[in-house]
Structure 1
Amino acid sequence: MNKFSKFLFMGLALGLTVFSSCKDDDDNSPSGSHKVVFKAIGSANVDISMAVYTDGAGKNESFTSLSGSTWTSQEYIVPSSAQVVSFGANAMGPADNSTLVAEIWVDGEKKIENKSTGKILSASATYSFKK
């Protein structure tokens, strides 16, 4: 029984050492994937009407009948098999200097944005995971 207790203690100590030495990683996304958020941001009184995205791995989603000057998607988990993500939004502005910005956020960082200017606004952005 004494050998068993020593063996159990050594196993527990080794397990705790390995467990405590592992890097603490706050990224809860599945291995080899990315957390992606799409944003459309209009200037004052811009009315966003539609947004669409594709992840390059076959997933597409359209959002219609939108209103307001800003829109943010839910957070999507994009698989590592996707090489690019694309996003676009359409809106109407009250003046020739109205703007609409399309942004793509990957793993909490803004990776790309593109801007459209005018009364009829269409902004799009594409981000490639493979550099």
Structure 2
Amino acid sequence: MKLNHLLRGTFVVLLAAMFIGFVSSCSSDDDDNPVNGAGKQHKVVFKAIASSGSNIDVAVYGIDGNPTTASSLSGETWSSPEITSEKGAYGANVAVNAIGASASSTLKVQIWVDGELKKEGTSSGQYLSASASYTF
């Protein structure tokens, strides 16, 4: 059980660093012109799919620097509620942690924007941590 707490703590720290780095890189952008659809609202859903017998434990997801943590999860699949981004939002991030049934287990995370799959991240092994980022 201590290993699970250690993994969760490490996962949360890494995720926080990812979101801080993402926001920092966005704040140094002096270009006020929207690029690649960043000037409009988007409907975003985050998903995770683990291999058979695996157990999804925690997910951290959000748009720009506004992360949400879903903890004490269970099962082989997870999906966030649909989030509508603000106009001018820069991007979306997701990271999910799971315990696999064996060393050959897999975990896939997805970012869906306006009904289209835009980005995937994968992980394999017994202790799974997958992440993905997408810029609008």
Normalising by the smaller structure, the TM-score range is 0.7 to 0.9
Q: Which has the larger radius of gyration?
A: 1
Moved over 4 A (4+): none
The one-character-per-residue Cα deviations of 1:55-101 (angstroms, maximum 9, x if unpaired) are 11x32100000000000011000112211110010000011110000
In 2, Cα distance between the equivalents of 1:47 and 1:87?
Answer: 17
The 5 Å alignment of 1:1-131 reads 32-56=40-64, 58-129=65-136
In 2, Cα distance between the equivalents of 1:114 and 1:59?
Answer: 20
Q: TM-score, normalised by structure 1?
A: 0.72
In 2, Cα distance between the equivalents of 1:74 and 1:53?
Answer: 11
Identity %: 47
Q: Which consecutive unaligned segments of at least 5 residues does structure 2 have?
A: 1-38
In 2, Cα distance between the equivalents of 1:80 and 1:97?
Answer: 41
Q: TM-score, normalised by structure 2?
A: 0.70
In 1, Cα distance between the equivalents of 2:128 and 2:84?
Answer: 28
Q: Which consecutive unaligned segments of at least 5 residues does structure 1 have?
A: 1-30
Alpha carbon RMSD of aligned pairs, Å?
Answer: 1.1
Count of aligned pairs between the two proteins = 98
Counterpart of 1:16?
Answer: none
